[in-house]
Structure 1
Amino acid sequence: MTAQQLKNSILQMAVQGKLVPQDPNDEPASILLQRIKAEKQELIKTGKIKKDKKSSEIFRGATHNLPYAYCEQIGKEIRDISDEIPFEIPESWEWVRLGIISTYNQAKQKINAKDADVSIWGLDLEDLEKGGRLLVKKTVGERKAVGDKTIFTKGDVLYSKLRPYLLKILVAPDSGICTPEIVPFTVYGGISAEYIVNFLKSPYVDGLVNGETYGIKMPRAGTDTMISLLVPLPPLSEQHRIVAKIEELLPYIERYGKAEEHLTTLNTTFPEALKKSILQEAVQGKLVPQNPDDEPASVLLERIRAEKQALIKAGKIKKDKHESVIVTRDKIPYEIIDGKERCIADEVPFEIPDSWCWCRLGTIFQHNTGKTLNSSNHQGTMMQYITTSNLYWDRFELDKLREMLFTDSEVEKCTVTKGDLLVCEGGDIGRAAIWNYDYPMRIQNHIHRLRSYAPVEVYFFYYVFYLYKRAGLIGGKGIGIQGLSSNAIDKLLIPLPPLAEQKKVVAKIEELMQYCDKL
């Protein structure tokens, strides 16, 4: 577990309202939003800002007698946005778009560097360390800056839209000018700029924004992506308590060797947040070191393809109509189908080690879905089966099993055996568990049965599904897959480590999970 993983967990807890206790005496965030609305109206009236083209108001459905958890009103239109809400927040908090509470989308004041005062601060991306720490502070004259720059003011939030995964975000300690790749903006209503910076550095925003970047070699966060970000907004007083608590915890992170003795001071929900961070590192190849002596994933992939060809030749499976082969050149992935090659860099959700491969799920796993209940069918043997209501993350609830008729051919197609990975097609899309029972079971049509063509560490791929679901890459918005049809699950892009590393990653996850459970 790295210091960054620990910090990620703390930031995620902070934006979910789990880092500090709520105070019932705090003025709720809804009142703060009313003040911001009035403040913006005055600024629009005086011509200092432009009117929002699509002014958004988000509210809990229950407050307007609507049957939805959360709704958004734009103009006269009200729509259900419950499926966009990434997590629950305290009752005193509110959800709001970043563009509503900030000047992110407002025009920025520009200046050519040659016309700027040489004594003022000239900020460039290279001055910022990953995570936003300021490494060096140079004047425009010292920097010998050229070209168009953006003017910013002390107290502005400075956000690097270039390679947003580097998290080069900070509150400006002084006024100056900066590269256009940095977006300066202010927040209304006295909102804590430090809270907004911590929000932008949270794993929630990091995963979401990096899933929506454009450009391959120089990925950037788009303005529309940023202004539509859902901000969990606490009361003002709580914002300051959150920032203070994060600042209090930072020394513990820096002295990570002594962190264990201090973890008991953290919120009791910390272990679960920590587990999510561990899994994110695991599927990106950052949890265990790579061993150059391990057989690379490319060789494993060839073995899997050979096994598939043998099964095809034996008539046990059908030949892929459009077989996918993914190759990497200069760290850019390309997919070859039917002899045609295309760049798929925009589909790749994160970077992986050189000894790993990207591939489609259908390349590794054979999959079937189960049987659809048909009351008019009277043939076959009455047998038990599981539905999505029996399948939970990494476990099954088998106390209430249904029955229906299965013919012999349906039994073969719909039966799962020990080691099969089962994934929900409907309901909670992407929810997965491994069937670890010594007896077989049948499945309904809304469950995918994944069975590997050659030996792999199935639990690694369970964790891939877990992370993809949490990151919105399955059943989410934007580039995420909205459903898991047979075609969609076949095309799901997944990382494939060397077989030996798959086992080491799973072993490390299990070791760290036990540690988390003891916190």
Structure 2
Amino acid sequence: MNTKLLRQKILDLAIRGKLTDQCKSDGTARELLEQISASCHPEQSSKSAKSKNLTPITPLDKSEAPFEIPDNWEWVHLQDVGELSRGKSKHRPRNDPALYVDGFMPFVQTGDVAGAEKGLICKWHSLYNELGVAQSRIWPRGTICITIAANIGDVALLNFDACFPDSVVGFNAYKPIYSNKFFLFYLMLCKEKLDEKSRSTAQKNINIDILSQIYVPLPPLAEQQRIVEKIEETFAEIDAVEKNKELLKKHIKQTRKKILDLAIHGKLVPQDENDEPASVLLERITRDNPHYEKLTDVPFEIPDSWEWVKLGDVGLYKKGPFGSALTKSMFVPKGPNTVKVYEQKNAIQKNESLGDYYITKDYFNSVMKGFEVRPGDILVSCAGTIGETFILPSGCEQGIINQALMRMKIFSFVNDKYFLYYFDFVLKTLSEKEGKGTAIKNIPPFAVFKTFPFPLPPLAEQKRIVDRIEEIFASLDQISLHLV
């Protein structure tokens, strides 16, 4: 079963600071860089040395970085945080038996890196003897091996002391960083870019200068450890679910929830200072709604360009007709003077063409017009599978909602899809808190429902959030197809 895409999504969240929480007690990456600089130049950082002589490591300009990172992280070059050196194998020919007779030291080649198991090199090509070791270099266990020829950009950790040729580069982070694993996980995502760079050369390889200039997001040391632990925990689950489809389905579901959680907290996509702030949208709400009341009890922090409002501020909601107002005895065959009655199955199966219940236009105009639905309106199932939603498409039949549906008309300053992602997240979270699982047992009464808090981003950011969610969910859907 192919779970490579899921692993990449986990790594992508991790290197953006979205897989773990940031803690003030961790300090900052800038402080870590000062410690690295001191460890690289201990003679300059001693008490007798003047601090002005200490060679600082200057973080890169965040405005030129590939993506946004937390405030207490920094962007650096790979060479700023560790030693990069090519392997050595001076003797020619390299397959001279004199290098290997009675060998004892593993000699790792590019194929061994490419064939690593879960990022760990556990096998070697051959064994060097003393002559072989003398013309090479021993790299310690835990070194990151990066291939720069043949299989470009493959990375893995040595699981033993070893030698390797100059087609492999070794990386070891400077103190006080005691583990290379965070950098290993980041470099795993760089393979495609490194491979692209190699195609511009005649021999399809890269050099150490290219590796040295790789942009690396650097978290504080304590957070690096938490990130590594979370990735390893998640990857261990993925390893297990490769043998257990049901567990994989659960993990995908949790990933979806995590993505939605990041989205509604303003952490899924970067904010753009050029966006018209949500405060402008709030002005429209207060202008059009004389009964507007500011939300005072907010559930969590949101970006400065967002605003907290209530569900009742962003749309109009209507439940279907009650009791005897709509019964089967009133239904008539479809004709030129009839109006469709939409049912819960239209919302659950997300198909406007299902169903064959109709009422006369006369009854519609005299009694049912208040329950009319039009293209762009949202149907919500209130029976059967509760909480399922469907946006009526353009060209759908004129119709009304039945007793098992709710109609939502969302105002133009809210992206329909953003609203629905939040609506789904809130209802399912509420069900979980009530101990009912994620299956929604009922829609809260309107008096309660309309007071639910709603995080309102700028309209342009709403669109970016929806695009990002759909991109990730499409990838997760592809993985789910393998479970069928």
Bucket of the pairwise TM-score, normalised by the shorter protein = 0.3 to 0.5
Larger gyration radius, structure 1 or structure 2: 2
TM-score computed with the length of structure 1 as normaliser: 0.42
What TM-score comes out, normalization by structure 2 length? Answer: 0.45
Q: Between Structure 1 and Structure 2, which shows a larger proportion of strand residues?
A: 1
